[in-house]
Amino acid sequence: MGSMKVSWFAILSLHLAIVLASDPDPLQDFCVPHPRSAGFIRSTVHGMITVPPCKNSSEATADDFVFSGMKVAGNFSDTGLAVVSVSPTNLPGLNTLGMSFVRADIEVGGINPPHFHPRATEIAYVVEGKVYSGFVDSSNKVFDRVLEKGEVMVFPRGLVHFFMNVGDKPATLFGSFNSQNPGLQKIPSAVFGSGIDEKLLQKAFGLTPKQIGTMRRKFDPKGAR
């Protein structure tokens, strides 16, 4: 079926349509975004926005490919979780290479709530501590276990997974992804903090309007009063 008329507008729009790319094979050795270009984008005096090229080989340096900012833990959330996420945003050399990574620290008893990454498989290596961890598959079966220092668990792409520090000292994990931008949906805030119609949530979870209200206030930054 078809019969697409291609107007001049369509051709322009098509260009708009093709700026965003994907995680497969890189087309070059690497592409470290050019900092001057980034700077230009930020000033954008004339309302114009340009797309910067990569640094060429002679401009790039080893530092573009090394991340030194996760020797210590990040800031802890109120669930006892501290994450340092590394993507092309803070390590330009990752750009176009199809990988990114995180350091996660969890306080004793702290959790990383059920969440998933829409665009990546994750491998988590336990640097320190004892962590209850697992994922759920499409048949709603949980694959969970307590991981110890030096163990590694793999979380298949797009499946809900979670962590809880069940040891008696802080835990540290190193996670890597096979996408430079894996994405993240935290179930509690995505479902109860995003503004989905309350009636639908009541029916979906079998919770009372009051219970839903409590959760919305808890997870929706704008709902919090």
> Using CB under 8 A, which residues numbered 174 to 203 contact a copy of itself?
174-176, 178-197, 199-201, 203
Q: Which is nearer to a copy of itself, 70 or 129 (CB)?
A: 70
The answer to whether 130 contacts a copy of itself (rule: CB under 8 A) is no
Q: Which is nearer to a copy of itself, 154 or 168 (CB)?
A: 154
- Backbone phi, psi, residue 111, to 5°: -135, 155
Q: Among 72, 107, 102, 103, which Cα is nearest to 179's?
A: 102
The answer to whether 213 contacts a copy of itself (rule: CB under 8 A) is no
Q: Which is nearer to a copy of itself, 130 or 162 (CB)?
A: 162
The answer to whether 113 contacts a copy of itself (rule: CB under 8 A) is yes
CB 56 within 8 A of CB 71: no
Q: Among 104, 132, 131, which Cα is nearest to 117's?
A: 104
The answer to whether 43 contacts a copy of itself (rule: CB under 8 A) is no
CB 183 within 8 A of CB 214: no
CB 125 within 8 A of CB 152: yes
Residue 133, Ramachandran bin (φ over 0: left; ψ between -120 and 50: alpha; else beta): beta
Cα separation, 169 vs 108, in Å, equals 6
Q: Among 158, 119, 120, 123, which Cα is nearest to 137's?
A: 158
User: 107, 129, 134, 171: which one contacts a copy of itself (CB under 8 A)?
Assistant: 134
Contacts to a copy of itself from residues 10-29, by CB under 8 A:
10-29
| Residue 112 known to bind ligand | yes
The answer to whether 37 contacts a copy of itself (rule: CB under 8 A) is yes
User: 129, 130, 153, 171: which one contacts a copy of itself (CB under 8 A)?
Assistant: 153
> How, if at all, do strands 111-116 and 122-128 pair?
unpaired
User: 107, 124, 130, 171: which one contacts a copy of itself (CB under 8 A)?
Assistant: 124
| Residue 117 known to bind ligand | yes
The answer to whether 53 contacts a copy of itself (rule: CB under 8 A) is yes
Cα separation, 192 vs 188, in Å, equals 6
Cα separation, 165 vs 181, in Å, equals 26
The answer to whether 49 contacts a copy of itself (rule: CB under 8 A) is yes
The answer to whether 48 contacts a copy of itself (rule: CB under 8 A) is yes
Shortest distance, CB of residue 180 to a copy of itself, whole angstroms?
Answer: 6
Known binding-site residue numbers for Mn(2+): 115, 117, 122, 161
